[in-house]
Amino acid sequence: MSKSKKNYGCMMLVALCVANFIPNYAQYQLSPFAASIMSEFNISASQFSSLFTAPMIPAILLSLEAGMMIDKFNPKLVMGIAIGITMIGTILAALSGSYFMLFAALFMIGVGAAFINCNQAKLISGWYTPEKVTGKMGIVMGASTIAMAVALATTSLFSSRKAASTVSAIGGVIAFILWIVLYKVPEESGFEKDHAGEPGVIDGLKVVVKNKNIYIIAACMMAIMGANVVIGSFAPTALQERGIDAVAAGTYSAVYTIGCFLSCFIAPIVAEKLRSVKKTVILFAILAFFGTGFSVSYVPAGILLGAAMLLTGIFVGGSIPLLLGLPVQLKGVGPLYAGTAGGFISTIELIGAVVIPGYILVPISAGNYNILFLAGGICMLICAAIAILLPRTE
């Protein structure tokens, strides 16, 4: 890579990281203000939950469309519009005086994150070689985890929700400006030229839906999200049922999140050492079975539980950047259709995140957390089994 291209690649990563940081930061600012928000708008806990998950809705509704758009149109323009919508959402959140206005603002905040999630492989592949894509994706995904941790750790220092939201609004403006200033479309992408004769949006979708490896990746992601949502959502409550106090239970859950953050950097390194994404995903998934299935339920409180939760986060989260970076390396897909592929995978992945825990694992467990976490662990074994079908990328 030339020095000039490397510099542009670094600037692109900075712009992507900031753009991915802000929506996650704005979303997780809600958690410390849960009680005051419910009081402010006179809403129930269920309605607050709807507020908190509002930024996730665009990812379910728009991922496929976002991927198809980024493959066909100028990526700087497409992402600029998405990040601009997030910026407007952060401003509206700071100004909102009603439940519905805040809900709409939070929905808009999630648009930028949705577009980044399914298009990051496509954007990064324009500036880095295919074998470097997963490592750089780990950095971008790590920015979202850092945002969650920073929001949870610092939001309580603000005097009010609107004061905290004002900081998010300033960040939203900065993220939009950085994208416009720092991101440059690679010359070889052809987006700065006439598009006559290029494959259409439907052509890209046809290529993706006919590629069996895309379904294998999506199935792996569904299984991982089943385990991730179970441990991320129910670990604090399950730990409290074991007699661990609420503060300590929250801390152990935070350690799991830290593990997920570290995995964004560790997994690509392991894959490089093993010279195989496939082997790394299988290894991490098998180890994640033990972490998900037994850590919360059986490991004694203290250093051992903290270490177990950290390792569980690493093993559950580690396969995500590896799998999402694979479409760039697939024959017939590559960088040209990586956006559509990412959108297709993200849509199936998010459906799995909702359906598997809520409609399969929770009913099966019937209120028994030991069974619930074991079922989550089995999801990781299913991921390992499916990953055997992944193509070789050594």
For every one of its 394 residues, what pLDDT tens digit does the chain have, with 9 covering 90 and above? 555 566 778 888 899 999 999 998 998 888 778 778 888 899 886 687 678 778 888 988 888 888 888 877 888 899 999 999 999 999 999 999 899 999 999 999 999 999 998 888 788 877 787 777 777 887 888 888 888 778 877 887 888 889 999 999 999 999 999 999 998 877 655 444 444 445 556 777 788 888 899 999 999 999 998 898 888 777 877 888 899 887 788 788 888 888 988 988 899 899 989 989 999 999 999 999 999 999 999 999 999 999 999 999 999 999 988 998 888 888 878 777 777 888 888 888 877 777 888 788 888 888 898 999 999 999 999 999 999 999 876 5
Sign of the torsion angle spanned by Cα atoms 33, 35, 38, 41: negative
Contacts for 35-39 with beta carbons within 8 Å, 24 or more apart? Answer: 36/160, 36/161, 37/161
H helix or E strand, kind and range, residue 356 = none
Q: Which two tokens stand for residue 152?
A: 């949870």
Sequence-ordered list of residues with C-beta below 8 angstroms from that of 319, at least 6 positions apart, any chain: 220, 224, 267, 280, 281, 284, 285, 383, 387
Instruction: List the one residue out of 325, 288, 376 whose CA is nearest residue 131.
Output: 325
**Contact by Cβ (8 Å): 321, 52:** no
Q: Which residue is it, tokens 């957390």?
A: 369
pTM listed for this prediction: 0.74
Spatial distance between the Cα atoms of 361 and 380, rounded to a whole number of angstroms:
13
| DSSP 8-state assignment for residue 358 | I
